[in-house]
Amino acid sequence: MFEEQNELIKSGVITLVGQPNVGKSTLMNTLLGQKISIVSPKPQTTRNRILAIINDPGYQIIMLDTPGLHEASAELNQEMVKTALDTLREVDIIVFIVDAAAPLPKKGKNPANYLSTARASTPVILLINKVDLLAKEQLLPIIEAYQNLHDFKAIIPISALKNKGTDIMIEELLKLLPMGPRYYPEDIPTDASERFLIEEIIREKVFLLTSKEIPYSTAVVVDRFKEEKDRNLVTIDATILIEKKSQKGIIIGKGGKKLRQIGTSARIDIERLLEGRVMLRLWVKIQKNWTKSNRVLKELGYRK
């Protein structure tokens, strides 16, 4: 996973965990200063473990964004939750994130119960996100409610969207991180491949531009990636997988309008990622009940 460099600095692996839509991906993108983890208002947008590398002359923080923790019944969702919980046993620090605007936890419904799978020695920091949505006097009862749920090393109010409180978070992480090597070169922001990031961008646009069950029934596969350096052009062919015939017409839209919207919006972000012109061609394919297929889930990287 890592390639160690010689110098000793503050370095280690942290994981961002929490329930869906608490702002894990937004926080990762904000700290990195660029978008590598897709974001939408819909819950369970993140399906894979996403790795970002936060570099500084004095430290390197390897940060894992994970799918939202929730009670899952569908096989795909169970794999998503397993992915998140597995990281709890692999890291130096756990960053547990809650939504300041969400209802306070009640007896028997403590979101911090998920932390029971972590090693007892792993320190946990609590981030109360979206505090920009609250008045100051509303914050203290929230802090008091969470103080009684777990032995957090620090409780930090933040706004990931507005980049407020994140400097305090970094300070607290550096107190807890061990001295170690620089595992990645300083110019690498993520271990994700360009193909994976492109698939995620397209999937994000499906989440943003469709509704109901459609986003949760889709996956994206890049079939072809061809660079034409003499023309400063990258040609990308990608397939959007759906589960039912009825969903195909919704994704394509009348006269292909919806698919063109998805493609245009995705192309703009992909051009920003690749820093060049992109020709993006999208197809829609029915893969019946793919979210329940062990074989397909493995092929798509959602199951090991």
Contact 250, 214 (CB under 8 A): yes
Same domain membership, residue 206 and residue 170? no
Inside any domain, residue 22: yes
Same domain membership, residue 174 and residue 31? yes
Inside any domain, residue 304: no
Phi and psi for 140 in degrees, rounded to 5?
Answer: -60, -45
Same domain membership, residue 226 and residue 129? no
Inside any domain, residue 94: yes
Residue 224's Cβ-count burial label (10 Å; 0-12, 13-18, 19+) is exposed
Cα–Cα distance for residue pair 220/283, rounded to 1 Å: 10
Same domain membership, residue 222 and residue 101? no
Cα distances from 199 to residues 47, 147, 189, 203, in angstroms, run 12, 39, 18, 6
Domain's final residue, options 149, 181, 213 = 181
Q: What is the pLDDT along the chain (304 residues), one digit of tens a residue?
A: 555 556 799 999 999 998 888 999 999 999 999 888 988 888 878 878 889 999 999 999 999 988 777 666 567 778 877 777 788 888 999 999 999 988 887 655 677 777 877 788 899 999 999 999 998 889 999 999 888 888 999 999 999 999 999 999 999 999 999 999 999 999 999 989 999 999 999 999 999 999 888 888 999 999 999 998 877 899 999 999 999 999 999 999 999 999 999 999 999 999 999 999 999 999 999 999 898 888 888 888 876 6
Inside any domain, residue 188: no
Residues 6+ apart with CB under 8 A from 222: 195, 198, 199, 236, 237, 238
Instruction: Let me know how many helices (H) and strands (E) the chain has, helices first.
Output: 8, 10
Domain's final residue, options 133, 153, 181 = 181
| Both structure tokens of 251 | 């994704």
Same domain membership, residue 151 and residue 29? yes
Q: Cα 188 to the chain's mean position, in Å?
A: 18
Inside any domain, residue 2: no
Same domain membership, residue 202 and residue 140? no
Same domain membership, residue 207 and residue 157? no
pTM of the model: 0.84
**Ranges assigned E (strand) in the chain:** 8-18, 50-56, 59-65, 93-99, 124-129, 154-157, 179-181, 219-228, 233-242, 277-286
Sign of CA dihedral 174, 177, 182, 186: negative
Same domain membership, residue 162 and residue 61? yes
How many domains is the chain built from? 2
Give the angle 170-176-181 at the CA atoms, nearest 5°. Answer: 90
Same domain membership, residue 12 and residue 146? yes
Please give the residue range of the domain that contains residue 130.
Answer: 8-181
If you search the block for the tokens 């170690």, which residue do you land on?
Answer: 180
Contact 256, 250 (CB under 8 A): no
Same domain membership, residue 256 and residue 142? no
Same domain membership, residue 83 and residue 21? yes
Inside any domain, residue 1: no
Closest CA to 180 of 268, 92, 277: 92
